[in-house]
Amino acid sequence: MASFFQKRDPWGHSFSLWVVVFMIFITPVLFGVLREIRQENNVENWLPPNDPQSKVLSWHRKSFGIEDRLLLSWEGSSLTDLRADRLKTLLLGTPDEKGILRGGSPYIQNVLTPQDAIRKMVEYRVEPDEAQERLKGVLLGTGALKIQLTEAGRKRQEQTIQELIGKAKSELGIELTVKPAFKEWVEIVDESNEAEIVETPASDDEEQVDFQALVAEIPSHDFQVTWPRMQPASQLSEQIQQLALSLKRPTILPETKSEKSEKTADAAATHPALVKDCFFAVGTPIAVAIELSDTGDADHAAAVAAVKAAASKSGIPEAGLHMGGRPVAGAALNRMVKESSWNTAYPVWQFHKRSVTLFSGLIGIALAFLMLRSLRLSCLVLLVSYYTTFVAVSIVPLTGGTMNMVLVVMPTLLTVLTLSGSIHVANYWKHAAHVDMKNAVSQAVEMARAPCMMASLTTAIGLASLMTSPLSPVRDFGLYSSIGCLISLLMILYGLPSLLQLWPGKPPKESDVDTRHWQKLGRVLSRHQVLVSMSCLIIFAVSCYGFKWFRTETKVIKYFPDSSRVIQDYLFLEENLSGITPVDTVICFDEAAQKNMNFVERVELVRKIQQKIAEHPEISGSISLADFRPVSEPLPENASTFQKLRNAKRVNETERRVRESLKTGDAKSFLYIADEAIEMEQETANGDRSVAVNKGDELWRITAQVAIMTDLNYGHLTRDLNQVTQSVLRDHAGTTHLVTGTIPLFLRTQQAVLESLIKSFGLAFAVIAVVMMILLRSPTAGLITMLPNLMPIGVVFGLISWMKMPVDIGTMITASVALGIAVDGTLHLLTWFKIGIEEGKTKSEAVAAAMGHCGPAMWQTSAAVGISLAMLYPAELLLVSRFGILMSALIAAALLADIIFLPALLAGPLGSLIVASHKKDQAAAANAPLLQDGKATKPHLPQAIKRTQSETTLET
């Protein structure tokens, strides 16, 4: 029967022509579809809506009306800085005659300045100094460590600074950065300045606060120092303060022994201190909290751009502006994902920076040209590889999908996978063309069909196994990549051969198919198969021990390089002002608890919990509705009736005002009266617990700010918050609590990453192992064959665990992908080993022949794919960079496993099992029913394979 590539249509045209015509026809259609592709990198949407933690967070945000917000600050800012109010006016607009805001940004819902918060607290009879202290670590920072010198220190200030820097470096290993002393902002009027000065209209209702007096309370000092990951309440801060206070002026002349032993009263005068005091002072810098509207939440990039434009217009210099929060990180992530594909900031001649992913693909093509030694074959491989990627990526917008930080590596992956299969087909074509140029295409496809189909299907299985993940980016990657893998198979078996048939070339030279060195390697491995196998197993076992330190990481901010602007902004905010990540503790009072405690008592209970939470060393500050109320002392037991009536009136008045503010929206973000019953599951260190909220329950929200730029174990933090809250609530019946927010979501996502890694890899391993068992007709042989396929994953992931490197969502997907790729070379080698056994060769001869056939292709594909993926390493987005370098390492390990470990196994126990299975098949064939002509049925090899195998034997 004629093959597909030998058939012709009624008009005499080859079927290959119609394949190429179809490829050309759908190209413009897919170009139009590809233009509609969108970005989506919202980490909070990774988990499915029915996930318990997602349910809690969704209910929490809906109940308290929490919108996405970003935190904005700038260097040198303080409470007397008028630019904060100007920025607020520009973003929200000015009220018209009816009180409706006009001229603001559609991306902004609300703006809260520290001045607003202090005025509101003062309105509720909180002293300004106390109000400022309550906002510390939330909207007010302490800035750098301020150093006040003595008179002796001022006389030699430069020497004192250098001595402090040197001692901090030698004794504590800390690099100190010196900054000028804080100076209150003074507006400089410059008529040539084009920045519009926006005056904020004063409100008659606002409580007048003397912010000038608050700023003036910052003690005078001579300079400031800061250091990486600075935290005012940390042990390191105390050590640096003690180090500064210990600085003494050295003596000019060396002391004698008697002078050293003397301890006179004027010793202090002989060695005067250089530093009088060092301290952190609350009040500078300040932060402005900006809540996004639904429009801003839908387009983080536009919202961030609008805020930057308003900041510039209000007089804040761009160089000193710092922003943080999920919208900022999301916008930066989307931008860097796009820039990894095409970054116009670099000129065309710096193509390796302009498009890291395209450069990676081009390197693969260049390597393919060097390996294949044919310009024609390299051009065809280039066309097929990129065309496959183009079609596969077009499916994303065609099915309503969006591009994300994980899916961005799919184009490069499909390019190199197609490149790998195409090089195998090209090598089969070279073998066939050396014997019969006319039928070389059909013979190459006949040789490649079985191993390429098995390799592509197993790779697709490995990719599809990722669809079991609860994380949406991983599921999307698994779905679209497995579809792309099947498209790649069609292009390898039909697209490339069609192009080869329509663009025929000259037959390859005899030197192009010389495989003597690979056959020699196969014979050496066969002779030392025990030593080689045991060495590989020992390396495998030692590497796998590293899984003892395996851990995951899901913080999006960790995907950015340290030099990026977003990282520098985050560091400034967390070192000088507050933690970026909020964690919320919700206190629930049921009807019984509300009857047992009056409103003021509930306020004080919430305040007590908040104070205990704020004592945690990893929390920079916290805020709740209790901060907007003065501290209320409980009534003495012997209080008079008049005192009780007066207190009851005060309690009722307080509750009335708060209830009214709930209607206007002022207190909605801190207090919520449940309007429906709901039951939620909360994950804790002691297991899941159920929290029921009934209609009419009173819910109080305490928000604490936590640093995200540290290696803090969020699991320990949530455990501590649960314990602290429970220690207070256990004595009050009818109360319960929930810990929610971004941090518990991070924990759940980390757990989901680990679950995805185990489940997807386990499923892929099981399916591929079953395929191997069926293919080899032996369960034992199938399991042994999986050892070389497991070895790359065990060695690489074991080593990165040894090095304490966390596995993020990008590196997680490489395990299942690498398993599928490793099976590719295994299947090709097994196919030709079995052919050698069927031809009557010994195990050693069959290994040598299989290495001669598959070694060049495996080496070429691994080199082309591995090196091209390694070109992703310079990518600024660390997610892409880590994916590239890890995949490159896995492919290199897979190559070594396939050309060293697998041949040794084939020359040993695995080969014996395959030989035994072959003898059993021969015995079964001998007893098979006879055909009509009296001859027994007998399995036969394709003619092309026989002919090529005979040629290889002659060369040997």
Rounded mean pLDDT, 262-281? 70
Measured between alpha carbons, how far is 839 from 520 in angstroms, rounded to an integer?
20
Does 569 have pLDDT greater than 90?
yes
What proportion of the chain, given as a percentage, has pLDDT over 90?
Answer: 25
**Which tops the pLDDT comparison, 345 or 164?**
164
Q: What is the tens place of the pLDDT at every residue in 460-471?
A: 887 788 888 888
Q: Report which secondary-structure segment, H or E, holds 585.
A: strand 581-589
| Lowest mean per-residue pLDDT among 239-253, 286-300, 607-621 | 239-253
Q: What's the whole-number mean pLDDT along residues 302-318?
A: 93
Q: What is the pLDDT of residue 683?
A: 67
* pLDDT digit string, tens, across residues 367-423: 777 777 777 887 888 788 888 988 999 998 888 888 877 787 788 778 777 877 887
Tell me the per-residue pLDDT of 330-344, one tens digit each, with 9 for 90 and over: 888 878 877 777 777
29 to each of 393, 597, 678, 685, how far by Cα in Å?
13, 69, 49, 53
pLDDT band at 363 (very low <50, low <70, confident <90, very high): confident
E strand or H helix at 703, and its extent?
A: strand 698-706
Query: DSSP assignment of 402-463, as one string?
Result: -B-TTGGGHHHHHHHHHHHHHHHHHHHHHHHHTT-STTHHHHHHHHHHHHHHHHHHHHHHHH
Per-residue pLDDT tens digits for 662-700: 776 667 888 999 888 888 877 665 667 788 889 999 999
Q: What's this model's pTM, rounded to 2 decimal places?
A: 0.78
- Give the pLDDT of residue 323: 94
Average pLDDT over residues 790-815: 84
Residue 113, CA distances (Å) to 68, 120, 627, 905 in order: 16, 11, 15, 70
What is the DSSP code (8-state) at residue 899?
I
The torsion region of residue 682 among left (phi > 0), alpha (psi -120 to 50) and beta comes to beta
Query: How far, in Å, CA of 748 to CA of 769, rounded?
Result: 31
pLDDT in tens, 476-493: 888 998 899 999 999 998
Q: Which residue has the higher pLDDT, 365 or 856?
A: 856
Residue 535 in this model has a pLDDT that exceeds 60: yes
User: What is the structure's pLDDT at 73?
Assistant: 95
- The 10s digit of each residue's pLDDT in 18-28 is 888 888 888 88
Task: Give the DSSP H or E segment for 581.
Answer: strand 581-589
The strand pairing partners of 287, in sequence order, are 73
Residue 201: what pLDDT? 53
pLDDT at position 259? 45
Predicted pLDDT at 496: 87
SS (H, E, C) 9-66: CCCCCEHHHHHHHHHHHHHHHHHHHHCCCCECCCHHHCCCCCCHHHHHHHHHHHHHCC
Confidence at 92, pLDDT banded by 50, 70, 90? very high
Per-residue burial over 539-551, b if 16 or more Cβ lie within 10 Å, else e, is: bbeebbebeeebe
Percent above pLDDT 70 for the chain: 88
How many Å apart are CA 731 and CA 728, to the nearest integer? 7
DSSP 8-state assignment for residue 807:
B
Q: Are strands 69-74 and 287-292 parallel, antiparallel or unpaired?
A: antiparallel
Tens-digit pLDDT profile for residues 827-836: 878 888 888 8
Calpha distance 919→925 (Å, rounded)? 10
91 pLDDT more than 90 = yes
pLDDT band for position 869 (50/70/90)? confident
Average pLDDT in the 942-948 region? 43
Section 868-896 average pLDDT = 85
Which residues 6+ apart lie within 8 Å of 553 measured at CB? 750, 806, 807, 808
- The pLDDT value recorded for residue 685 is 56
pLDDT exceeds cutoff 70 at 312: yes
Q: Which residue, among 702, 448, 441, 760, has the nearest Cα to 585 in the 3D structure?
A: 702
Residue 266 reports pLDDT greater than 60: no
Assign 3-class secondary structure to 550-563.
CCECCCHHHHCCCC
